[in-house]
């Protein structure tokens, strides 16, 4: 069977009713994309912190596909 190497990263996430905080020691493209998206279209922010976490998780998974 073919082996695939995965690059791992650590991303700490703190979720509250009105906030989503991330902490990372290295760049994480998914976080940067989410931030850029929110700056372009504030509707994402109005959907709440759980929506932002969902979008972030979706972006992280997409990076590994």
pLDDT in tens, 10-62: 999 999 999 999 999 998 999 999 999 999 988 988 999 999 999 999 999 98
pLDDT value for 51 = 94
pLDDT value for 3 = 82
pLDDT value for 1 = 66
Q: Report the candidate in 8, 11, 5 with the shortest Cα–Cα distance to residue 57.
A: 11
Question: Residues 6 or more apart from 29 whose CB is under 8 A from it?
Answer: 59, 63
Q: Which stretch of DSSP H or E encloses residue 64? A: helix 49-64
- Residue 47 is given by DSSP the state T
Of residues 16 and 9, the one with the higher pLDDT is 16
Q: Please give the Cα distance from 40 to 38 (Å, whole number).
A: 5
Q: Which stretch of DSSP H or E encloses residue 22? A: strand 19-23
pTM of the entire predicted model: 0.81
């Amino acid at each position: 069977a073919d082996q695939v190497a995965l690059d791992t990263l650590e991303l700490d996430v703190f979720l509250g009713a009105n906030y989503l905080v991330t902490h990372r020691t290295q760049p994480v493209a998914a976080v940067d994309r989410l931030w850029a998206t929110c700056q372009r279209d504030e509707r994402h922010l109005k959907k709440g912190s759980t929506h932002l976490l969902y979008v972030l998780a979706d972006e992280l998974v997409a990076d590994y596909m």
